Amino acid sequence: MDRLGDPRGRRIPFSVEFSPPRDADAEARLWRAVRVFERLGPAFVSMTYGAGGSTRDRTVRVTGELAEATTLLPVAHLTAVGHSIDELRAMVGAYADRGITNILALRGDPPGNPLGEWEQHPGGLAHADELVRLVRDLGDFHVGVASFPEGHHRSPDLDHDTRFMVNKLRAGAEYSITQMFFDVEHYLRLRDRVAAFDAEQAAKPIIPEIMPITSLRSARRSLELSGSKLPAALEERLVRAAGGGPEENRAAVREVGIDVATEMCERLISEGAPCLHFITLNFARATSEVLTRLGIEMPAPAAQPA
């Protein structure tokens, strides 16, 4: 990927994930977060893509605006689910027309039920490695893929999951970004499995994805959709923080979430992770707090002319 190295000489680069806004208010919130992160200098920013292409037009538009109106390096998500090969080619062309040459190639989740049965489009692709080859054949694109520290929920076992991941790397992917996880050991064991399976492909960056938890309810929903799990000790800690009232104690949950995310990042840095990728939910504050604790300070605002 272009500019994967740390642009400001810090000890580790970071990146952030945005989602296409649903309405004008959400779009204004997204751009507030964009401007905060632009000052912090991430290595790249990614823009997600709804199941079955449900946010396709917004994804292309907003990702294009990130490329044209900011100093950020955008990575566009592209999913095979629900699309024919011709539609996928058109999407890649639409990104290229906006100057976007970094794409995260994903098989994608079924629309309506991410954990449901996956069905190949009659004129589409069956696996993410095929999508990687398609994108690479269409031009000079930098392509990344997803990886799964706990194993993909559709994989029968971790060996099977590792084989599919390595196939995506062999197809031409230059790096992977993991699904979110909350036990660093899962990330370390993923690296070990890839190294044991194919040492050459293991040299490619495996970027850990971190979600600073600010709400137990929303975290549980995200985990339910992803198939990942909270470690029992962490869930107990969050439940205690949430309290027993009708509404969770968001401030207390958030404090635990920021602490845990910071602890995870410190461990990942010590273990040689190449980059830290944060799920932001289009907010800047929680990720900014973690970055500050890690020693990545927010630059002072530029002085305004009198």
Catalytic residue (one of 17, 130, 150, 209)? 17
**CA distances to 22, 26, 229 from 127, in Å:** 29, 33, 24
Contact 142/112 with Cβ under 8 angstroms? no
Give me the sign of the Cα torsion angle 77, 106, 283, 25. Answer: positive
Q: Is 17 a catalytic residue?
A: yes
Task: Please give the torsion angle defined by the CA atoms of residues 102, 20, 298 and 304, in that order, rounded to the nearest 10 degrees.
Answer: 100
Q: Which residue has the tokens 């890690």?
A: 294
- 290-298: long-range pairs with CB below 8 Å, 24+: 290/210, 290/212, 290/258, 290/261, 290/262, 290/265, 291/14, 291/40, 293/258, 293/262, 294/262, 294/265, 294/266, 294/269, 295/10, 295/11, 296/10, 296/14, 296/40, 298/36, 298/39, 298/40
If DSSP codes are grouped into helix, strand and coil, which group holds residue 281? coil
Active site residues: 17
